[in-house]
Each structure stands twice: as structure tokens, then as C-alpha cells.
Amino acid sequence: MKGEWVTAERAEEVRAAARGWRRAGAVSEGTFEEISRRYPEPRALPAPLWRVVTFVLASAVLLLATAALFVAASPRLSNAWILCAFAGAAFVLMAEIQARSPAMALRGGVEAAGFWGIVFLVAGLFLLFQENLRISEPTGPNLVLAGAALLFALAAWRWGSPAWAFLAALSLFLLLGRAPAGRLLWIACGVALTFFFERFLDRPSWAPSHRRCAAVLVVAGLLGVYAALNLYALDHRFVEFLRERARDLPGPRFGERIWSTLGTAILPVAVVWWGVRSRRTFVLDTGLVLSALSLMTLRFYVHLAPIWVVLCVSGGILFLLALALNRWLARGSEGERYGFTAEPLFADEARLRALGYSLTA
Amino acid sequence: MTRAGATGKWPYASGVNPDVAAAVDRLEQEGVLTPAQERLFSRVARRELVSAQLEVRAALYVGVLLLTGGIALFVKENHERIGPAAIGLAIGATAAGCLAWAWRNSPPFAWGGTPATHAGFDYVLLLGALLVATDLAFLETQLGLLGENWPWHLLVVAALTLLLAYRFDSKMLLSLALASFAAWRGVSVNLSRVTLGAGDPARLRAEALACGVLFVVVGVALRRAGRKPHFEDVYVNAGLLLGFGGLLSGVFTTLNWPTWTLLLLLGAGGTAFVSFRAKRTLPFAQAVLAAYLGLLRAVFSGGGGDVAARMLLAAVLGCAALAMVFLAHRRMRTP
């Protein structure tokens, strides 16, 4: 990532924090203006809605133009990889040009061009191996997945979007799942990703977007480990079905099911504990999601009551627990306990409420 | 920003948002922030103080969804064993309890905004409203109080949730009310097919357009009258979704698509103009996307011809739409 982009990102971190302070009334308008002056942001920063619209329209333009090229050229399947590679390279170049322009860097066009560029490059790889070089299962798809992981990782490093980091991790897990010991590799890779990138979550030398990529990779690592450990996923061979001739594989052994049961129960608790101890809300949220999945897994195997009872009881407990937590935090000294508060601090409350009523509708 | 800051070499331990923490220290030293502000902002940047509000709200929302889902399933599986009256009473009593709690914990009514003071308020209110809707639907299906006019219970739900939305200043319930009203118009038209003769999707389209216009007009009128003016965006956005949906339905599903395309372009153009002047980004975006989708029909209509050229033309139109979005954002000067 270019130096001036990192500088701009650091300034934007401060400006975003200052916007939250102003929104909460913690600083005056004059103070906010002074902070903005001292931390100038040279790039145009549209609201998320504008960026989504730009992404959608840019994607439509790129796909239609490429489709026109394919229809006009009508390549044979053995030569189609050339067009895919050309389109992919052109889109990646467009993304890079936009990223270098302060007026265009944050409008959503970089993400659209970069994403479709990599998709077409990966498609080109697939067609090259499959139709041209005749490298079929399992090597061909493995090379394609490896290529996808590498390209998305490079995009995350160059342009800093956490979405590419996640896609790189996804490609890597899909690749590892196709190996004979895929499940063990998922656990090993997930643990490695989590512990390696956890060290960089607050690293000052890393750009803010790279730190966010590190956070996404920590989450991806935790999800990968959980997906490998979950008892339901084990019994239904979720990982094994990525391999060729997976239906011929034997079912899980008793010892595997024991370890899987323990992992399904313990991992979410460990992740929640880690989130609370480190006060990293994204880790805590991941742990809560994993806990919900584990409870669903428990219900699948242990039929204590009809589903409607489970839904009502769990909904009621969750609701009351949330109210109790809110009350407990609010009654702490200065409205906080152990570094947690129920106050929104500097979050965008309007955006949270809008999310709520749009989900309801 | 100092060179050290630019290169990321900060003397801070891990567990920190280093950029914000350093900025807070620097701003306090330079007198931009007071010591009290520096203490608070620094605590947040160092993750010594973290907000759990998002997690609490998410848990409340999921809890409401699980509860209403469980109750709906209970009704489905047990209505024959227990009897409709008992079930209806139980759900009604629970709903009444939720609404009574909301009444006791709500600020007095005002035509302006009256934000709730309790974290669970929105969700208890939502639970009560959803249970009322479930109860009405259940009683209607079991007792057939409205007979052939059963879709009118949706109007009752819409009216009730609208009242609750205004009394308790809830945008969530307002969007529920508008959705119920639109569903009432949609469902009743479908059932009227027998009396109207052959099926009439054109009527459904007209209903969607009428609802869309109604919502936008009501939203604007109420804002101008100072009656919950902050509700306007809910009315307008719902109205535009229905309106553009109806127009696009005409463009893509009728033989008379040129007329519908013209109407769509007029509607989208008008919406874009008004929202540009009012600096309203969501309506502007909806108008641009709807117009673009409608024009795609014109580009690809008819058989034969040069498909590649049509696709290229569609891509060029997309570029024009992008340029419009880009320029509008710059001129609107909104984030």
C-alpha cells in the first residue's frame, strides 16, 4: 500500500473518531472543525449508500462490457481464458488507477473493479487449466483455488479492503478442505491465522485498513476451526464433501465425535471469554454467534422439548438476559463495569436504529 | 501530522487504536481538547472503555424474533388441541402486557421526537405489536369473523400499528404499519380476481402505485404540518419502493412497456430533481437505479439484432448513471 494512502487512512481514523465525539456532543463544532483542519482528508468520502450504488452500477457496467466483448469475439472454450485474463487485468488496472485518485479512491469503484478483475482472472485460470492444459481433478481446481487465495491476498495488501482478506481466507480453507486430512488442516490453519494475526490487531506500523484485514482473518480463523470441530458439520461431512469422491469416505469415528462434541461446547465459551478479557467486541460477537450455533447443534441432537418451546424459552431468556445486562452495566460506577458500558459512547445511533427498522420491514 | 505519525512509529503498547490514541494525546497537548475530553477519548481509544450497546440491542432483537417465531409455531401445532379461544386470549394477554409496559415507560406524547429512555423499549413495543398482529391473524383464520373479507384484518393491523407508532414515536412500527397496509391492498386485489373476472395483475400494479403515491404524499404533508416530521423518510422510502416497483413491473411484464418506461423515466426524473434539491440521497439513488433498470428493457427489447452492441449500449448507460451519481454527490455536498 502506498505511503500517502496510509497517511490518509490514519487521518481518516482520527476524523471518524472526531465525528463520533461531535455526534455524542462530547466536542463542540469548533473543536471538530479544528481537528478536521489538523487531520485533513484529501480523499472524497461518500456515505455508504453512495458507495453501494456506485458498486452496483460499476459492476453492471463492467459485466455488460465484458459480456459484449465475449459475444462479439465468440471465442472457443479453449481460448476463452485469454479474454478472461484480459478483462481481469484491465479491471485490476482500473481499480489501481481509481485507488490512486483522491476523488475516486473511496467511492466504491475500486471494490467493484478489483473484485470483478480477480473473479475474471480466476475464471481465466480455471479455463486455462481445464480446457487448454487439460489439468483436471484434483490438481486443476486446487491450482485455481490457490490462485484465488493469492490474488485476493494481494488485493487486500494493496487496497486494504477487509472483504478481500475474507475471500482470501475462504479460498485457502476451500483449498485445504480438498486435502486428505482437510479437517485437521482447517483446524491447524484456523489456529495459525487466529494467533498470527492477533498480534497485528493494534500494531502501529500497520495501516488501519490492514489492521481491519487482520481482524477479519482472526474471525475467519475462528470460524474455520469451529466449522471443523462442530459435531453436526462432522456428522454431515461438510469439509469432506469438498473432496473428490467424498461419498466413498467412511463416517466419523467414535473418538472423532467425542473431540468434536467437546470442541462444539468449549470453543464458543473460550472465544467469548477471550472477547470479554481483551474487550474486543468483534471477538465477543464471534463467540456469541458460535454459541448460538452450538446451542442449535445441541437441540439437533438432544430433543428436550418441541421446537416451539425451545424458541420461546431461548427467546425469552435472551431477551431477559439482555435487559439484565443492560441494567447491571448501567448501575455500575459511572455507568460502567470492568471497562464495559451500555452507553452508545460515540456510535452512530441513527444508523443502528435505521438498521433495526429496515430489518423489521 | 508528525513524521513519526506518518510512518506509524508510535511509542504505545498493544491494545490500542494507535492512530486515535496518539491524536488524542497530541490534541490535548496543543490545547484543542480539554484534559477531561482527553481522559475519556483516550480510554475509548485504548479499549479501556468499550460499549456493549450493539450486542445488547442485537440480543433484544433476536430474542423478540425467537419469541414471536416460537409463538407462531405453537399456534400452528396446537390450535386444534387447545382451542382458538384459549390461544387467542393467551397471546392477547401477552401482547397487552407488553403494550402496558411500554405505556408506563414511555415519555408523554408529543408531535416531535420523543426518544425512549429504556434500552429494551423499542423491542418490547415491537414484541407487543407483532403479537397483536399474530393474534388477529390467528383469530381471523380460526373464527372467520370477517368471512370473505378476511384480508381486512391487515387493515386493522396497519391502523393499530400506525397508532402505536405515533404514540410511542417508533419508526420500526411505522414501517410495519406501511407494510401491512400495502399487503392489505395486494392481498385483497388477488382475492377479488373472481369478481373482477379474469386475473388482473394490472390492478395489482395500480394498487402498488397508488400506495406509493399515498405514502409519499402523506409523509411530506405530515412533515410540513410538523406532525412527527422525522417519520417522513420512512413514508417516502416505502412509497418510492412501491412506486418504482409498480412502474418497473409495468416495464418488464407488459406489452405496453414503452408507455411504462416513459412513465418510469418521468417519475424517476421528478424524484431525482426534488431529492437533489432537498439533498436527500436515498430517494435520489432509488430514482437513478430505477431509471437505469427501466432503460435496460428498452435496450434489450425485440429479438435478433446485434446483442453485443446492445450490451455495450447498456454499459454506456450505466456509465451515464454513474456519472450522474458522482456529480450529484459532489453538488449535493452531503456525506
Over B292-333, what HEC string results?
Answer: HHHHHHHHHCCCCCCHHHHHHHHHHHHHHHHHHHHHHHHHHC
Task: State the DSSP H helix or E strand holding residue B141, giving kind and residue range, or none if neither.
Answer: helix B121-143
User: Model confidence at A352, in pLDDT bands (50, 70, 90)?
Assistant: low
Give mean pLDDT, residues B271-299: 93
Question: B56 and B184, same structural domain?
Answer: yes
Contact A208, A143 (CB under 8 A): no
pLDDT of residue B303: 60
Of A280, A311, A357, the CB nearest to B73: A311
Contact A357 B171 (CB under 8 A): yes
Asked whether the beta carbons of residue B53 and residue A280 sit closer than 8 angstroms, the reply is no
Decide: A341 and B52 in contact? Cβ < 8 Å: yes
Position B260 pLDDT exceeds 90:
yes
Per-residue model confidence as pLDDT tens digits over A281-294: 999 999 999 999 99
Residues forming a β-bridge with B51: A341
Q: Given the C-alpha cell 494493496, which residue does it identify?
A: A158
B53: chain A residues, CB-CB within 8 Å: 342-345, 347, 352
User: What is the predicted pLDDT for the residue at B304?
Assistant: 63
Would the pLDDT of B170 be above 60? yes
Residue B14 has pLDDT above 80, yes or no: no
Within 8 A of B31 by CB-CB distance, chain A residues are: none
Does pLDDT of B312 surpass 70? yes
Which pLDDT tens digit goes with each residue over A38-54? 999 888 888 888 899 99
Sequence-ordered list of residues with C-beta below 8 angstroms from that of A191, at least 6 positions apart, any chain = A221, A225
Say yes or no: B37 and B123 in one domain. Answer: no
pLDDT at residue A249 greater than cutoff 90: no
- Residue A5: closest C-alpha in chain B: B6
Q: Do A311 and B70 touch (CB under 8 A)?
A: yes
What mean pLDDT value characterizes chain A? Answer: 90
Range with lowest mean pLDDT among A21-30, A123-132, B8-17, B79-88:
B8-17
pLDDT band at A353 (very low <50, low <70, confident <90, very high): low
- Of the candidates B61, B175, B289, the beta carbon closest to that of A361 is on B175
Task: For Cα atoms B123, B126, B132, give the angle at the middle one, nearest 5 degrees.
Answer: 145
Question: Does the structure show a pLDDT above 70 at B104?
Answer: yes
CB contact under 8 A, B40 and A26: yes
Contact A67 B57 (CB under 8 A): no
Taken as a whole, chain A contains a residue count of: 361
Contact A319 B63 (CB under 8 A): yes
Enter the C-alpha cell of residue B47.
Answer: 479499549
In a domain, B271, yes or no: yes
Contact B66 A47 (CB under 8 A): no
Nearest CA-CA distance, residue B203 and chain A, Å = 24
Q: What's the rounded Cα separation, in Å, for the pair A213 and A221?
A: 12
Instruction: Measure the CA–CA gap between A263 and A267, rounded to whole angstroms.
Output: 5
C-alpha cell at A230: 462442530
Cα separation, A143 vs A96, in Å, equals 25
Give the span between the Cα atoms of A152 and A114, in whole angstroms.
Answer: 9
Query: Mutating which of A57, A74, A345 best tests the B interface, going by the most B Cβ atoms within 10 A?
Result: A57
Tell me: do B327 and B284 sit in the same domain.
yes
Q: Do the Cβ atoms of A308 and B172 come within 8 Å?
A: no
CA distances from B8 to A17, B3, B4, B13 (A): 18, 8, 6, 13
Domain annotation covers residue B199: no
The 3-state DSSP class for residue A134 equals coil
Reply yes or no on whether the pLDDT at B116 is more than 90.
no
Given CB atoms, is B16 within the 8 Å cutoff of chain A?
Answer: yes
Q: Is B58 part of any domain?
A: yes
Question: Given a cut of 80, is residue A193 above it in pLDDT?
Answer: yes
Tell me the average pLDDT across B242-252.
91
Residue B197 resides in a domain: no
Query: Which grid coordinates are listed for B108?
Result: 408523554
pLDDT greater than 90 at residue A136? no
Tell me if B62 and A206 make a contact (CB, 8 A cut-off): no
A265: exposed, middle or buried (Cβ count in 10 Å: 0-12, 13-18, 19+): middle
Interface contact A13-B19, CB threshold 8 A: yes
Higher pLDDT, B178 or B199: B178
Q: What is the ipTM of this complex?
A: 0.84
Is B220 part of a structural domain of the chain? yes
Longest dimension (CA), chain B: 79
Among the ranges given (A57-61, A72-76, B157-161), the one the predictor scored with the smallest mean pLDDT: A72-76
Cβ pairs bridging A and B (under 8 Å)? 265
Q: Which of A60-74, A138-152, A226-240, A339-353 has the lowest mean pLDDT?
A: A339-353
Residues B9 and B75 in one domain: no
Q: Shortest Cα distance from B49 to chain A (angstroms)?
A: 4
In terms of domains, do B112 and B159 share one?
A: yes
| Chain A residues with CB-CB distance to B41 below 8 A | 17, 21, 26
- Whether residue B36 lies within 8 A of chain A, CB to CB, comes out as no
Contact A21 B311 (CB under 8 A): no
* pLDDT band at residue B15 under the 50/70/90 scheme: low
Residue B196 within a domain: no
pLDDT at B12 > cutoff 50: no
The pLDDT of residue B1: 37
Kind plus residue range of the DSSP H or E element containing A341: strand A340-341
Number of C-beta neighbours around residue B334 at 10 A? 13
Alpha-carbon distance B196 to nearest alpha carbon in chain A (angstroms): 31
Q: Is the pLDDT of residue B2 over 90?
A: no
Whether residue B102 contacts residue B124, with contact meaning beta carbons closer than 8 Å, is answered with yes
Smallest CA-to-CA distance from B185 within B147, B214, B224, B143 is with B214
Cα distances (Å, whole numbers) of residue A196 to A241, B227, B248, B311: 28, 55, 50, 46
Q: CB under 8 Å to A4, separation ≥6 — which residues?
A: none
CB pair distance less than 8 Å for A46 and B51? no
B221 shares a domain with B177: no
In the predicted model, what is the mean pLDDT of residues A301-330?
91
Mean pLDDT of B187-194: 51
Of B142 and A222, the structure prediction assigns the larger pLDDT to A222
Q: Could you read off the pLDDT of B18-45 as tens digits, one per residue?
A: 999 999 999 999 999 999 999 989 999 9
CA distances to A276, B150, B162, B183, B201 from B155, rounded to whole Å, are 46, 10, 10, 9, 21
Q: Which pLDDT band, with edges at 50, 70 and 90, does A250 fall under?
A: confident
Q: Decide if B113 is inside a domain.
A: yes
- Whether B65 has its CB under 8 Å from any CB of chain A: the answer is yes
Domain shared by B292 and B326, yes or no: yes
Chain A interface includes B178 (CB < 8 A): yes
Confidence class of residue B5 from pLDDT cuts 50, 70 and 90? very low
Nearest Cβ partner for A357 among B66, B175, B322? B175
Contact A315 B62 (CB under 8 A): yes
Please list, in sequence order, all residues whose beta carbon lies within 8 angstroms of the beta carbon of residue A144, skipping any fewer than 6 positions away.
A122, A125, A126, A129
- pLDDT category of residue A134 using cuts at 50, 70 and 90: confident
List the grid coordinates of B291.
Answer: 431509471
Position B4 pLDDT exceeds 50: no
| Contacts A62 to B, Cβ<8 Å | 315
Residues B244 and B296 in one domain: yes
Contacts of B321 in chain A (CB under 8 A): 57
Query: Does the structure show a pLDDT above 50 at B11?
Result: no
Q: What is the mean pLDDT of residues B88-102?
A: 90
At residue B39, the 3 state secondary structure works out as helix
Same domain, B40 and B146: no
Strand partners, B50: A340
Q: Which of B176, B311, B322 sits opposite A67 (nearest CB)?
A: B311
**What pLDDT sits at residue B10?**
38
Q: How far apart are CA B209 and CA B204, in angstroms?
A: 9
Strand B50-51: give its sheet, edge to edge: A336-337, A340-341, B50-51
- Is the Cβ pair B8, A205 closer than 8 Å? yes
Residue B146 lies in a domain: yes
Q: pLDDT band for A17, please (50, 70, 90 cuts).
A: very high
Total domain count, chain B:
3
Interface of B with A in 272-331 (CB under 8 A): 281-282, 285, 288-289, 292, 307-309, 311-312, 314-315, 318-319, 321-322, 325-326, 329-330
CA distance B153 to B187: 11
Whether residues B66 and B184 fall in one domain: yes
Furthest-apart CA pair in chain A: how many Å? 72
pLDDT value of residue B9:
38
What are the residues whose beta carbons fall under 8 Å from the beta carbon of A136, sequence distance 6 or more?
A130
Chain A nearest-CA residue for B238: A361
Do B65 and B92 fall within a single domain?
yes
Closest by Cα among B153, B214, B147, B145 to B178: B214
Residue A145 has pLDDT above 90, yes or no: yes
Q: Which pLDDT does position B75 carry in this prediction?
A: 83
For residue B20, give the chain A residue with the closest CA. A14
Closest Cβ opposite residue A34 in set B32, B47, B49 = B32
A79/B33 Cα distance (integer angstroms) = 63
- B189 in reach of chain A (CB within 8 A): no
CB-CB: which of A45, A65, A357 is closest to B335? A45
Look at residue A336 and give its three-state secondary structure. Answer: strand
Domain that holds residue B293: 204-335
Q: How many Å lie between the alpha carbon of A19 and the closest alpha carbon of chain B?
A: 12
Backbone conformation region of residue B47, classed left if phi is above 0, alpha if psi is from -120 to 50, else beta: left
Q: Do A61 and B32 make contact, defined as CB atoms within 8 angstroms?
A: no
CA B47 from chain centre, in angstroms, equals 33
Question: What value does the mean pLDDT of chain B take?
Answer: 85
**Residue among A27, A341, A359 whose CB faces B52 most closely:** A341
Closest CA to B248 of B289, B194, B196: B289
Residues B321-326: what's their mean pLDDT? 92
**How many Cβ atoms sit within 10 Å of the Cβ of residue B263?**
16
B41 lies in the same domain as B106: no
Please tell me the predicted confidence (pLDDT) of residue B38: 92
Percent of chain B surpassing pLDDT 70: 90
Sort out which chain A residues have CB atoms less than 8 A from B179's CB and list them: 361
The pLDDT score that the predictor gives to residue B198 is: 47
Å from B202 to nearest chain A CA? Answer: 25
Q: What is the pLDDT of residues A318-335, one digit of tens each?
A: 999 999 999 999 999 888
pLDDT of amino acid B151: 80
Asked if A279 lies within 8 A of B329 by C-beta distance, the reply is: no
Q: How far apart are the first and last CA of chain A?
A: 41
> Helix crossing, A3-23 with A208-229: angle to 10°?
80
Specify the DSSP class assigned to residue B147: G
